[in-house]
Amino acid sequence: MSNGQTTTVQGGLVTAGLSGNCLSRALKSTADKSLHFFVGLGVLFALWGAGIYVVTLNPTMAMFGDFGPIPALEALPELWKYGTIPNALVSTGYRMAAGLGLAIIIGIPLGILVGRIRWFQRLTNVPFQFLRMISPLSWEPIAVVVFAEWDQAIIFLLTIAAVWPVMFATASGLAKVDPAWFKVARNLGAKPWHMVTRIIMPAVTFDILTGIRLALGVAWIVIIPAEFLGVTSGFGFAVEDAREGLEYAHLMGLILVIGVVGFVLDSICVMLIKRFSWHRG
């Protein structure tokens, strides 16, 4: 009985020790990441402030003082108080969600067809590559004519910009799947729907999420200039309005918010990739 108790106590101590080591490593990793984050951010703001300081040493360039980081940060409470930032988050967020959602709905099935059906891949490769290389913003004059509302036109531009990363990432991931998996599934009586849900989607989740991350970055870049014209809401409109009103501190504050929102969205994609991909350790 004594030996059993001793073994239990020792096992508990070992387990507690391992848990303590894991917790210690996790805390150290978090501390390192936080340190790198804040140091990198500090360097960025220091370079930004130094650049504005050097420019404004010339008295004729004193007007550019409002482009500095301190005026930009000071403008944020006012931009939030008067609803500029909240309204832009809602309007731009709606357009982003709609455009990116359509790109995912269209891109994943197309990617599966390209990656799974050889003749379809050969038939569509040249047209898809041709369309992919056309700047999304070059479709703007056509979108304005075709769609009755500017919101619809912007959503179209975001979709045409974001669909290609999703589609090609899905096709690339599917091309790496072992064909033997499909043979085994067919021998076991799997239907096409089972192939998609039980083999294809789990196998290419990492690639799809990576494609969505790339698509999100492209769409976030496209939406700001797309909102410069025709609409009266969104970050693009707010930036253009601040420029026309010569409110340069507000302009830089909005640019700062655009960067923060984009960074947060990208970080969410990274977390989803780590959470739902079978590639994680």
Residue pair 83/89 in contact by the 8 Å Cβ criterion: no
Res. 230: pLDDT tops 90: no
More confident: 28 or 86: 86
Q: What is the pLDDT of residue 281?
A: 45
Q: What is the pLDDT of residue 166?
A: 94
pLDDT bin (cut points 50, 70, 90) of residue 188 is confident
Q: What is the pLDDT of residue 265?
A: 92
Distance of alpha carbon 117 from alpha carbon 268, whole angstroms: 32
Q: What is the pLDDT of residue 6?
A: 53
Distance of alpha carbon 244 from alpha carbon 198, whole angstroms: 54
* Window from 18-22, 89-93, 156-160 with minimum mean pLDDT: 18-22
Q: What is the pLDDT of residue 13?
A: 46
- Average pLDDT of the residues of the chain: 82
pLDDT in tens, 241-253: 888 888 888 899 9
Q: Which two tokens stand for residue 30?
A: 């978090």
pLDDT bin (cut points 50, 70, 90) of residue 26 is low
pLDDT in tens, 98-152: 999 999 999 999 998 988 888 888 998 899 999 999 988 899 889 888 888 888 9
156: Cβ contacts below 8 Å, ≥ 6 apart: 99, 139, 143, 146, 147
Q: What is the pLDDT of residue 8?
A: 52
pLDDT bin (cut points 50, 70, 90) of residue 255 is very high
pLDDT in tens, 49-100: 888 878 777 777 777 777 888 888 888 998 899 888 999 999 999 999 999 9
Distance of alpha carbon 159 from alpha carbon 101, whole angstroms: 8
Q: Which string of DSSP letters, residue by residue, matches the chain?
A: -HHHHHHHHHHHHHHHHHHHHHHHHHHHHHHHHHHHHHHHHHHHHHHHHHHHHHHHTSGGGGGGGGGSHHHHHHHHHHHHHTTHHHHHHHHHHHHHHHHHHHHHHHHHHHHHHHHH-HHHHHHHHHHHHHHHTS-GGGGHHHHHHHSSSHHHHHHHHHHHHHHHHHHHHHHHHHHTS-HHHHHHHHHTT--HHHIIIIIIHHHHHHHHHHHHHHHHHHHHHHHHHHTTSS-SSSHHHHHHHHHHTT-HHHHHHHHHHHHHHHHHHHHHHHHHHHHH-TT--
Q: What is the pLDDT of residue 211?
A: 92
CA-derived radius of gyration, the chain: 25
In this structure, is the dihedral angle defined by the CA atoms of residues 37, 39, 41 and 43, taken in order, positive or negative? Answer: negative
Q: Which CATH class is domain 68-276?
A: mainly alpha
pLDDT bin (cut points 50, 70, 90) of residue 22 is low
C-alpha separations of 73 from 76, 124, 135, 239 in Å: 5, 49, 33, 15
pLDDT bin (cut points 50, 70, 90) of residue 16 is very low
